[in-house]
Amino acid sequence: MIMQTESGDTRLCTIEAAIMETRPDLVEDSELAEDIAAVLRQYFAQELKKSTITYNDFTSALRIICQFLKLPEPGSPIEAKNDVSSVDLLALARETGSGFEILFFQLLRGALDQQSEVPRVVFDHSREAVIALLGAKKWSPRCERFRDQIVDFIRDGFARHHGIDRSLSIT
């Protein structure tokens, strides 16, 4: 895209680079940043049919997306870290041990229940957890199917307990 600065100069940059420059806090969660970039790309290219975007238009659209996702403004009194909770799936897998998938899901259900007041929850290390639980040496179709089961379990439990006012990320 071509970004027109407040002074009227133009420069070529990617939407991802503009997000990193404008809201570096969003880049910490690469999946979230990619999703926001895709929404902005769609909005400017398909909806508005613009190839040149003013800085103000970009920041305004980004602010609206962040408000919709209930992400705090940079510099707001609410610290982003207080609004985000992290669940380490690998730690849960290690706690249960290889071959104890049912116990893992019980611990995961407990972790989901503990996140009821947090607006954004990140579940980390899903691939590593799967490998540990299955005792696999390398990633396989079996691992992929099991990871899909974990993701479905998290999404179902999250939707049931948390509703639409919360955000979820699984890495």
Mean pLDDT on 142-167: 82
Q: What is the pLDDT of residue 77?
A: 37
Where exactly are the structural domains of the chain? 2-68, 80-170
**Residue 165: per-residue pLDDT:** 60
More confident residue, 29 or 133: 133
Confidence (pLDDT) at 80: 41
Contact 71, 60 (CB under 8 A): no
Kindly state the average pLDDT of the residues 152-159.
Answer: 85
Residue 151 has pLDDT above 70, yes or no: yes
120 phi and psi, to 5 degrees? -140, 130
pLDDT in tens, 49-84: 887 888 888 888 888 888 777 777 765 433 444 567
- The 10s digit of each residue's pLDDT in 97-149 is 777 788 889 888 888 877 777 778 888 899 999 999 999 999 999 999 999 99
Per-residue confidence (pLDDT) for residue 147, from 0 to 100: 94
Q: What is the pLDDT of residue 131?
A: 93
pTM strictly above 0.85: no
